[in-house]
């Protein structure tokens, strides 16, 4: 443990509505101090939201501390402590510390509150009771509510190293997706024939309808190439994004890329990022049957209510015309403010 990481002393704690959860039924290893986490120990919140990760004591030893950490399987490194507390006080640490505090709703409450959630906050958290003799811990998963989108370079298919894929997602207001995130997107219907990087350095593609053109096979699933060389191998990217604080709007017209950019500027906004359009589509059912320029030079349109005349496909989705010649006067503009 490295207590040199101390960043600040949290002085105040805010209150907000708490997660609803049920006590678990069957538990193999009996806990003495901590309440077993719920049957589905998962708490969900969008980017920008607030959540409470529940951890309750059922019995108090004489002398104890509670430690909250975030488990980071993808980064081997020092333990990622968020919060240390004793009966009277708590201290927060690290990247999450400034946005973390203990709820302390009552004497047995050691629940952690996180505010202004960020994309990277998703993962497994551990609440540990330390009394020197019989330490105990429970684990809770925080899932950031959001949407996965495939992203391809404007130079064509399979042009990103791992590091470039990571940067490309960040440029579109996202992060590289985790395996859990793409798994969930696949269960929601993501079927994509191009392989892309995930955050853990593996390369996968999600298939709902197996077909010869997409590697064959007879069962739907996430096809994986396993870990690839992060500096040498090149693929597309699977990005993850969540709610945004701004809004996306469409300006109709027959613009070149530059004209579209100006059209957005005139209303005090900017061309939207790909992540912005996906977030509007996912969270607000944004639906527009017109191709529009985005800031990366691609042309796309969001369909929430599939219909014959709007691209034909039976599934909802954000459709892409790729990266057309920027001087073509054919499309409207998707702006973000």
Min. distance of Cβ 333 from ligand NAG in angstroms?
Answer: 18
If binding is defined by CB under 6 A, does position 3 make contact with ligand NAG? no
Instruction: Rule CB under 6 A: choose which of 38, 49, 123, 246 binds ligand NAG.
Output: 49
Using CA atoms, how far residue 157 sits from 161, 235, 325, in Å, is 12, 7, 17
Which residue is at the shortest CB distance from ligand NAG? 14
Instruction: Rule CB under 6 A: choose which of 88, 231, 245, 325 binds ligand NAG.
Output: 325
> Residue 51 or residue 140: which is nearer to ligand NAG going by CB?
51
If binding is defined by CB under 6 A, does position 38 make contact with ligand NAG? no
- Is the CB of residue 206 less than 8 Å from the CB of residue 192? yes
Using CA atoms, how far residue 66 sits from 50, 52, 56, 147, 212, in Å, is 21, 16, 11, 34, 54
Q: Pick out residues in 94-153 that bind ligand NAG (CB under 6 A).
A: 115
DSSP state of 323: S
If binding is defined by CB under 6 A, does position 232 make contact with ligand NAG? no
If binding is defined by CB under 6 A, does position 256 make contact with ligand NAG? no
Which DSSP string corresponds to 107-155? TTB--EEE-S--GGG-EEEEEEEE-SSS-EEEEEEEEEE-EEEEE-BTT
Min. distance of Cβ 310 from ligand NAG in angstroms?
Answer: 27
| DSSP-assigned beta bridge partners for residue 302 | 318
Interface size with ligand NAG, residues (CB under 6 A):
7
Instruction: Rule CB under 6 A: choose which of 6, 36, 50, 159 binds ligand NAG.
Output: 50
If binding is defined by CB under 6 A, does position 14 make contact with ligand NAG? yes
Both tokens of 172, joined, read: 């579109």
Q: Name the strand (E) or helix (H) holding 121.
A: none
If binding is defined by CB under 6 A, does position 218 make contact with ligand NAG? no
């Amino acid at each position: 443990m490295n207590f040199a990481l101390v960043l600040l002393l949290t002085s105040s704690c805010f209150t907000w509505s708490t997660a609803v959860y049920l006590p678990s039924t069957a538990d193999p290893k009996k806990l003495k101090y901590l309440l077993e986490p719920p049957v589905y120990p998962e708490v969900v919140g969008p980017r920008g939201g607030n959540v409470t990760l529940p951890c309750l004591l059922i019995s108090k030893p004489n002398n104890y501390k509670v430690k909250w950490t975030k488990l980071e399987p993808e980064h081997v490194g020092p333990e990622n402590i968020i919060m240390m507390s004793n009966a009277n006080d708590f201290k927060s640490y690290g990247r999450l510390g400034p946005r973390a505090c203990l709820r302390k709703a009552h004497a047995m409450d050691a629940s952690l509150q996180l505010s202004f959630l960020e994309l990277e906050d998703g993962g497994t958290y551990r609440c540990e009771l330390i009394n020197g003799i019989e330490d105990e811990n429970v684990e809770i998963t925080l899932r950031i509510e959001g949407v996965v989108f495939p992203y391809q370079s404007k130079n064509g298919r399979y042009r990103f190293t791992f590091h470039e894929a990571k940067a490309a997602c960040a440029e579109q207001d996202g992060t590289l997706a985790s395996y859990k995130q793409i798994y969930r997107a696949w269960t929601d219907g993501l079927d994509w024939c191009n392989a892309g990087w995930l955050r853990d350095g593996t390369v996968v593609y999600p298939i709902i309808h197996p077909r010869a053109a997409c590697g064959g096979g007879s069962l739907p699933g996430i096809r994986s190439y396993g870990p690839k060389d992060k500096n040498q191998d090149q693929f597309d990217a699977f990005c993850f994004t969540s709610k945004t604080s701004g809004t996306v709007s469409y300006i109709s017209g027959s613009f070149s890329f530059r004209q579209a950019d100006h059209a957005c500027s005139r209303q005090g906004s900017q061309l939207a990022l790909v992540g912005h359009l996906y977030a509007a589509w996912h969270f607000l059912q944004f639906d527009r049957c017109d191709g529009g320029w985005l800031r990366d030079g691609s042309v796309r349109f969001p369909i929430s209510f599939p219909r014959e005349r709007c691209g034909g496909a039976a599934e909802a989705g954000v459709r892409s015309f790729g990266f057309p010649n920027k001087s073509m006067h054919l499309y409207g503009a998707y702006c973000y403010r």
